[in-house]
């Protein structure tokens, strides 16, 4: 059990970390443009006059900061050493705030958005998929299938933009940007929570609408195999009410396999959350990334990259390891 279940998952986990983090190290060094020169160019082109000696000194400091000193291998090792101590370097535009502090500040927003949209879309998609399998020819399930399938391929960015135009501009029911109203007092009270919900409604809606389709499809595929199982046929023959068969015989058994298919999608959904945040200026990691792009804060972009690789792969490992707890059939094997 331990050998067959645990070890392959750990190998996969560490391979993901190794490949991902090495990619983040290698990419900037493979590409032709040099981040240090770009940074210096940005400073000088802002109209300041800089003494050549000062520029040279700045170049040295920047190289040290980016860990660009020494040979490639030496850089690589010191890069890993810094990561293990949780040091992602300082942010450039908000010097000397460390990158990790900025990420920590915006992380709860992204996590909230992800959890809310995932649980909602999971519930809705699963129920709709179950209904589709149980009543394949009803007009309701045909309509939901058409909708779920038609919306699914639309990119996150386009969906967010369309919702923003519709419900924040044309019919201004919801605010255009931000996580809470400017000047509102942060605290655990009804007024603030209402404000919070109003601001997060559109970002969550945008993600939920796009993700329902995936859950729906997966549920439909898993459950349509279950319908032909003996115990379902028996339940039907013994005259159990249809609703009982649907909810406690078909859906109950289809829910768990559905979750496994999800792990591999997590990276994609996470990217979607970043994009959605950028459109709605929701104060999470996406908006942080956006501000880093605008300001050319290269260290912050690297930091967010490393953090998202570690975060997504760890989340996936946890889902994988929890799986036997959810499904008794796997547990007792």
**Positions that interact with other proteins (CB under 8 A):** 11-12, 15-16, 19-20, 23-24, 27-28, 31-33, 35, 38, 149-150, 152-158, 161-162, 165, 169, 264, 266-268, 270-271, 274-275, 278, 289-290, 293-294, 296, 298, 301-302, 304-305, 308-309, 312-313, 316
Distance separating alpha carbons of residues 60 and 67, to the nearest angstrom: 10
The nearest distance, CB 158 to other proteins, in angstroms, is 6
Q: Whose Cβ is closer to other proteins: residue 168's or residue 196's? A: 168
The nearest distance, CB 236 to other proteins, in angstroms, is 22
Tokens 């996406």: give the residue.
Answer: 286
Q: Whose Cβ is closer to other proteins: residue 181's or residue 221's? A: 221
Q: Whose Cβ is closer to other proteins: residue 38's or residue 225's? A: 38
Q: Whose Cβ is closer to other proteins: residue 137's or residue 243's? A: 137
What is the largest distance, in Å, between two alpha-carbon atoms of the chain? 90
Distance separating alpha carbons of residues 7 and 291, to the nearest angstrom: 40
Q: Phi and psi of 180, rounded to 5°? A: -155, 165
The nearest distance, CB 146 to other proteins, in angstroms, is 10
Q: Whose Cβ is closer to other proteins: residue 58's or residue 168's? A: 168
Q: Whose Cβ is closer to other proteins: residue 246's or residue 306's? A: 306
Q: Whose Cβ is closer to other proteins: residue 246's or residue 304's? A: 304
The nearest distance, CB 258 to other proteins, in angstroms, is 18
Distance separating alpha carbons of residues 277 and 202, to the nearest angstrom: 10
Smallest Cα–Cα separation from 278: which of 119, 159, 197? 159
The nearest distance, CB 264 to other proteins, in angstroms, is 5
Q: Whose Cβ is closer to other proteins: residue 127's or residue 295's? A: 295
The nearest distance, CB 260 to other proteins, in angstroms, is 13
3-state SS string over the chain?
Answer: CHHHHHHHHHHHHHHHHHHHHHHHHHHHHHCCCCHHHHHHHHHHCCCCCCCHHHHHHHHHHHHHHHCCCCCHHHHHHHHHHHHHCCCCCECCCCCCCEHHHHHHHHHHHHHHHHHHHHHHHHHHHHHHHHHHHHCCCCHHHHHHHHHHHHHCCCCHHHHHHHHHHHHHHHCCCCCCCCCCCCCCCCCCCHHHHHHHHHHHHHHHHHHHHHHHHHHHHHHHHHHHHHCCCHHHHHHHHCCCCHHHHHHHHHHHHHHHHHHHHHHCCHHHHHHHHHHHHHHHCCCCHHHHHHHHHHHCCHHHHHHHHHHHHHHHHHHHHHHHHHHHHHCHHHHCC
The nearest distance, CB 276 to other proteins, in angstroms, is 11
Q: Whose Cβ is closer to other proteins: residue 109's or residue 249's? A: 109
Smallest Cα–Cα separation from 159: which of 98, 200, 207? 207
The nearest distance, CB 285 to other proteins, in angstroms, is 9
The nearest distance, CB 152 to other proteins, in angstroms, is 7
């Amino acid at each position: 059990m331990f050998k067959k279940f645990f070890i392959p998952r750990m190998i996969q986990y560490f391979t993901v970390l190794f490949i991902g983090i090495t990619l983040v190290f290698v990419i900037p060094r493979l590409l032709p443009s040099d981040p240090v020169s770009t940074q210096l160019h940005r400073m000088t082109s802002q109209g300041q006059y800089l003494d050549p000696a000062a520029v040279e000194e700045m170049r040295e400091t920047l190289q040290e900061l980016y860990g660009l000193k020494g040979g490639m291998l030496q850089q690589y090792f010191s890069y890993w050493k810094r990561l293990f101590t949780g040091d992602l370097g300082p942010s450039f535009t908000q010097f000397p705030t460390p990158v990790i502090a900025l990420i920590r500040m915006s992380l709860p927003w992204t996590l909230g958005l992800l959890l809310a949209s995932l649980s909602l879309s999971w519930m809705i998609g699963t129920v709709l998929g179950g209904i589709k399998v149980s009543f394949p020819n009803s007009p309701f399930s045909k309509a939901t299938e058409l909708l779920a399938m038609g919306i699914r391929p639309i990119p996150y960015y386009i969906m967010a933009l369309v919702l923003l135009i519709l419900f924040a501009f044309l019919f201004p029911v919801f605010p255009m940007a931000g996580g809470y109203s400017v000047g509102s007092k942060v605290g655990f009270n009804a007024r603030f929570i209402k404000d919070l919900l109003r601001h997060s409604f559109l970002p969550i809606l945008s993600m939920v609408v796009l993700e329902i389709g995936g859950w729906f499809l997966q549920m439909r595929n898993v459950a349509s195999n279950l319908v032909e199982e003996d115990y379902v046929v028996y339940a039907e023959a013994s005259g159990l009410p249809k609703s009982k068969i649907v909810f406690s015989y078909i859906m109950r058994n289809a829910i768990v396999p559905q979750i496994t298919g999800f792990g591999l999608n997590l990276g994609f959904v996470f990217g979607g959350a970043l994009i959605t945040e950028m459109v709605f200026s929701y104060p999470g990691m996406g908006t942080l990334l956006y501000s880093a792009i605008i300001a050319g804060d290269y260290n912050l972009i690297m930091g967010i990259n490393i953090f998202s690789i570690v975060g997504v792969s760890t989340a996936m490992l946890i889902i994988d390891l929890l799986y036997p707890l959810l499904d008794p059939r796997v547990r007792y094997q």
